[in-house]
A = this chain, B = another copy of it.
Amino acid sequence: MAAPHLDEFERIARFFAPLAAPQALGLLDDVALIDGPTGEQYVLKTDAIVEGVHFLPDDPPAQVAQKLLRVNLSDLAAKGATPFGYLLTTALPAARDEAWLEAFAAGLAADQKTYGIGLLGGDSVATPGPVTLSVAAIGRIAAGRAVLRRGARAGDRIFVSGTLGDAALGVIAAKGGDLGIAPAERDFLIDRFRLPQPRVALGPRLVGLATAMMDISDGLVADLGHICGVSAVAGLVEAERLPLSPAARAALARDPDRLASVLGGGDDYELLFTAPAAAEAQFLTFARETGVPITAIGRIEAGQGVRVTDKDGRDIAVKVAGYEHF
């Protein structure tokens, strides 16, 4: 009889959480905070991506490099930190030639300029398997100011940046699924999946206002569940309020069941945060300054778990388990 297979969270809780240093926040926050120069802390985050799992063999190498960096920068932004630098490890099969590596490095160079970061070191090894890439990113923040997942309080509003569901719909389109939308809309969604836009300008502005924050990588409902779980509160999302791009709105108009991709799909890398309702006016200013919309989508209540309601206040069943990146 095969042993039951543990999912990633169970594996972390069982095998790795007991190894965590105090600075790792019990591995509940996806980052560690270590003391920096006077008055500052470093925020540490690591993420790996694998060819055939997180990106496709034919994806342009510059885009692969940028996705690798950006998923890490998104985590730093979601703590309110400003990106500083990164370490890189590459495991490459012999078939990846210098042209691939040159384009990959060009992607890194472009994003280093965009985000004001530098390469701090790395390791390059050979592998008989798929391209496997890992980044350890380092950000800086004023000491004690990082926005953790555990601070959500009953009465807070729930906010998100940007639009939701684009990446998950983009995965469907990239795999050849017919969303019944115009080619330009389809391309927009695929782009949103291929190249996240980490909210590095917005995240630091939310420090001192947001009570809890993370980025959306596993899907809205799953990630809100993480905030609610460690904050010991319940989350209520009103589906009518979810911010949708014109392309996602068109896809939902054709097939309302695509709402599942908006609620459960990952890879949007938008900020999900909670704050008192009084902060909303300030958020509108930040949205104007950064060009990134901010939308209130629900509220935090006493209790536990995440509920989603439709326009008539009825619960919508949400399937959150098993989101696959593609």
Contacts and interface: CB of A to CB of B under 8 A. Distances in A.
Contact of A24 (B32, B97, B120): B120
Interface string A127-153: 111101010101000000000000000
* Copies of this subunit: 2
B49 A105 contact: no
Contacts of A120: 20-21, 23-24, 32, 34, 44
Interface of A: 3, 6, 8, 11-12, 15-16, 18-24, 27, 30-32, 34-38, 42, 44-50, 52-54, 84-85, 87-91, 97-98, 101-102, 104-105, 108-109, 112, 117-130, 132, 134, 136, 138
A89 B127 contact: no
A47 B89 contact: yes
Nearest to A126: B53
A69 to B, nearest CB: 11
Contacts of A132: 50, 91, 127, 129, 132
Contacts of A49: 125
A115 to B, nearest CB: 12
19 contacts: A11-B101, A15-B101, A15-B105, A18-B109, A19-B109, A24-B118, A27-B121, A27-B122, A34-B84, A34-B85, A34-B138, A35-B36, A38-B38, A42-B42, A48-B91, A48-B125, A50-B128, A89-B89, A128-B129
Contact of A46 (B22, B84, B89): B89
B118 A3 contact: no
B129 A46 contact: no
A6 B138 contact: no
**Top 6 closest pairs, chain A to chain B, by CB:** A129-B129, A21-B118, A136-B136, A32-B120, A15-B105, A48-B89
A118 B45 contact: no
Nearest to A93: B129
Contacts of A12: 122, 124
